[in-house]
């Protein structure tokens, strides 16, 4: 009876160890996604913040091309350490162009949003409820915009990179997150 009890304890311990390994894997993937989301959020925040005063309107010191190029440059800096082969490089360039296009589109939508807001606020009798609804609508779309870019990054991570390169990505994220 004692041997059976030890055997079941060993099985339970192995299951706990496997579950812990799965938890660590999910934690690492979660950290990767969170880090990319933070990076994307900071980029969008830097690009979308009004840099003037309210009475001057909504003016950004960045243009859509500059923001897209900056984020592209940041991506290139980190990807160069992965030593991509030719086919991986092609996939990376394709993904990077999609992300740049998404950023440019988002910046153009941002400009249009600010134009509409500026026009409405400067009317003799502005509709603040309409402005609030417009802002809420825009905020609700932001997770989808960020999520689309995260999906592109995670597809590249899961489909294109080797196990060794994925480990390198995780190490880079760990170093940056402390």
Give pLDDT tens digits for 134-165.
Answer: 888 888 888 888 888 889 989 999 999 999 99
How many structural domains does the chain have? 1
DSSP 3-state of 68: helix
Confidence label for 39 from pLDDT (cuts 50, 70 and 90): low
CA 129, chain centre distance (Å): 31
Given a contact cutoff of 8 angstroms between Cβ atoms, the answer to whether 54 and 141 are in contact is no
Distances in Å between the alpha carbon of 133 and those of 11, 68, 83, 146? 56, 28, 47, 21
Is residue 46 within 8 A of residue 64, CB to CB? The reply is no
- pTM summary value: 0.58
Question: What is the extent of the structural domain holding 16?
Answer: 2-177
Q: Tell me how far apart the alpha carbons of residues 106 and 78 are, in angstroms, rounded to a whole number.
A: 23
- With a CB cutoff of 8 Å and minimum separation 6, the contacts of 99 are 68, 71, 72, 75, 149, 152, 153
Q: How much is the pLDDT for 2?
A: 59
pLDDT score at 50: 47
Q: Looking at 23-150, which runs of residues are DSSP E strands? A: none
């Amino acid at each position: 009876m004692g041997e059976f009890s030890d055997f079941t304890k060993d099985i339970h311990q192995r299951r706990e160890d496997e579950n812990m390994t799965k938890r660590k894997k999910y934690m690492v993937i979660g950290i990767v996604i969170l880090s990319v989301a933070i990076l994307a959020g900071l980029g969008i925040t830097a690009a979308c913040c009004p840099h003037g005063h309210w009475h001057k309107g909504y003016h950004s010191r960045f243009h859509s091309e500059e923001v897209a190029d900056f984020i592209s440059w940041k991506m290139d800096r980190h990807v160069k350490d992965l030593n991509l082969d030719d086919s991986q490089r092609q996939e990376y360039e394709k993904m990077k162009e999609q992300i740049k296009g998404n950023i440019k589109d988002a910046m153009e939508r941002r400009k249009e949003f600010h134009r509409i807001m500026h026009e409405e606020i400067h009317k003799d009798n502005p509709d603040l409820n309409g402005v609030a609804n417009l802002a809420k609508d825009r905020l609700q779309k932001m997770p989808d915009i960020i999520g689309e870019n995260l999906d592109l990054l995670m597809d590249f991570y899961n489909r294109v990179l080797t196990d060794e390169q994925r480990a390198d990505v995780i190490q880079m994220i760990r170093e940056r997150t402390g």
